[in-house]
Amino acid sequence: MPVAFLTDAQASRYGRYAGEPSSDQLARFFYLDEADQALVARRREDYTRLGFAIQLGTVRFLGTFLTDPTVVPPGLVLHMSRQLHLADPTCLPQYLERPRTHYEHAQEIKRHYGYHDFHAQPEYFRFVRWLYTRA
């Protein structure tokens, strides 16, 4: 994605956390409603439930999935752990033990919530057409 219009500081923060989300941001983007909780509950292990939930909140907040979904602020991990009633939030690094897990979870989140990658056809064309109608 072209980022030439961003300052160097903005470009370095693009697509990643620039700090702890505020309490308002946690409530808006990282709240798990009953449907979210049911989807997360399909995972067997605590670390997969936590990793899946963090990925869900991350894509809502940043608009993208992280290459390493465990590189998130500690307060966010604690917030999600509390919602999931997990005793040990330090289990998150185990989420990377099977490399394909976070990729498969990202694909499931996309399918379930109807998210699309706009860099590929036909979504790219649809997105550009949508922007054109509003310009």
pTM: 0.82
Interatomic CA distance for residues 101 and 50, integer angstroms:
12
Q: Tell me the domain boundaries of the chain.
A: 20-134
Residue type, 110: K
> pLDDT tens track of the chain, all 135 residues?
555 666 877 767 777 898 999 999 999 999 999 999 999 999 999 999 999 999 999 999 998 899 899 999 999 999 999 999 999 999 999 999 998 999 999 999 999 998 877 777 787 788 788 888 888
Please report, for residues 16, 22, 32, 74, 124, the alpha-carbon distance to residue 134 in angstroms, rounded to integers and kept in the order given.
28, 31, 32, 39, 16
